[in-house]
Amino acid sequence: MSRQPQRRRGAPPVLQLVVLLLCSWMPAAAAERPPRLVFINPGLHDESFWVTYAGLMEGAAHQLGWRLETRYAERDHLKMVALAQEALAAERKPDYLLIVNEKPVMVPVLLAAERAGVDVLLLSVGLNPQEQAIAGQPRTRFRHWIGTILPDNRQAGYLVARAVLAERPTAAAPARLAVLRGVRATRADADRHLGLRRYLAEQGRAGIAYSFDANWRRDDARRQLGRLLGFDAAIDAVWAANDQMALGAADALSGRVADGPAGRPSDVPVSGVLSSREGVEALAAGRLHTMPGGHLALGACAVLMLDDYRKGRDFARGGERGGQAEVTVPIFEPVDRAGAASWLRLFDPAQWSRLPYARWRPARAGDYRCQASTLLVG
């Protein structure tokens, strides 16, 4: 008697149901995985400006449901490139890489991102002319370089000049201005100086009597201005490219020494671009004049832009074409002594995830302003 071939039995109905549920759940779970950002921070891990810059980014990312990892290059441009290349070569790559071009080293990073298929957003500092000749504009030669987000540093330089010169009586003799520049090779310093020049050209009531390179540093500014004052040089106001140099100028003017007691604030107005908790505290104490601030929130603004971009609302002005993806944000606004106390919240880590970043979403596509005061109201 021949045996009938046995029919292969299917999986039990319960097991089939489990498999079906898993198959339907897995794509949804993958889709719900939060987007991942890696930020290559050029600063030191304990540097006030860059720690705050990254902290505000992390607060915005948390609110928007993104994951952000910050890696510090510790002021080493070679380490910055290595950290970027490491992130791009990892088995689990980020969805986006954010990086600051503090020194002209971006072309190797853009090449690595292109090979890895990871979108890159440059923050705060764009390409220099030599790099631009190689890389072109965002979304052209490097399709994964999706944009560059810049603060309006010319606006900042203009506002510093206005702060120290606007109250001078019209009938007074032209003001003698002492200027403290950062590092001339940087775009930020050059643009802030152009803003100063524009204000002077418009007003015609002041001239640059003395100009020094103080390398963004308080001690360099104190030494440079102190040497000038030692010759009894007459100055009517001090313009500084950042608040650390403004603080150095205030130290020199008040007779303060590095480890001595604070001197009496000078009657010579001093202002710079607001970048640190020390600067806000000096503003609140009356040692510094009204200062433009806000660029430490640019990274958080960029996170919001990426969230909009991922949802189909392009941050590029004019859409996908060429240089429109290099966006200059008018992020600076004057901060006076009365407003200084509220600005201290920006430097408080407990506040970073509580600030209402969604208020920055523009009513018109691409019209981002991202001013910090918007976060501090209410």
Domain ranges of the chain: 34-151+296-331+348-376, 154-293
Stretch 319-328: mean pLDDT: 68
- Fold: same for 34-151+296-331+348-376 and 154-293: yes
Distance between CA atoms of residues 24 and 5, nearest Å? 35
Distance between CA atoms of residues 276 and 257, nearest Å? 20
Distance between CA atoms of residues 231 and 84, nearest Å? 49
- 157 in Cβ contact with 195 (< 8 Å): yes
Distance between CA atoms of residues 181 and 193, nearest Å? 8
- Tell me, rounded to whole angstroms, the distance of Cα 6 from its chain centroid: 71
| Residue 12: per-residue pLDDT | 60
Stretch 127-154: mean pLDDT: 94
- 123 in Cβ contact with 147 (< 8 Å): no
Chain mean pLDDT for the chain: 88
Statement: residue 19 has pLDDT above 50? no
Q: Which residue, 184, 96, 187, 103, is CA-closest to 146? A: 96
Percent of the chain scoring above 90 in pLDDT: 75
- DSSP letter string over 91-138? SS--SEEEEE-SSS-HHHHHHHHHHHT-EEEEES----HHHHHHH-ST
| Residue 293: per-residue pLDDT | 97
CATH dotted code for 34-151+296-331+348-376 = 3.40.50.2300
* Architecture in CATH for domain 154-293: 3-Layer(aba) Sandwich (3.40)
pLDDT in tens, 168-206: 877 678 899 999 999 888 889 999 999 999 999 999 889
- What are φ and ψ of residue 314, in 5° steps? -70, 135
Six-digit token string for 328: 């200059």
* 155 contacts: CB under 8 Å, gap ≥ 6: 195, 292, 330, 332
Distance between CA atoms of residues 184 and 368, nearest Å? 28
Confidence grade of residue 14 (pLDDT, cut at 50, 70, 90): low
Statement: residue 284 has pLDDT above 80? yes
| Residue 315: per-residue pLDDT | 92
Distance between CA atoms of residues 246 and 281, nearest Å? 13
Name residue, tokens 């015609």: 204
322 or 75, greater pLDDT? 75
Stretch 135-141: mean pLDDT: 94
Statement: residue 333 has pLDDT above 60? yes
Statement: residue 270 has pLDDT above 70? yes
Distance between CA atoms of residues 107 and 131, nearest Å? 7
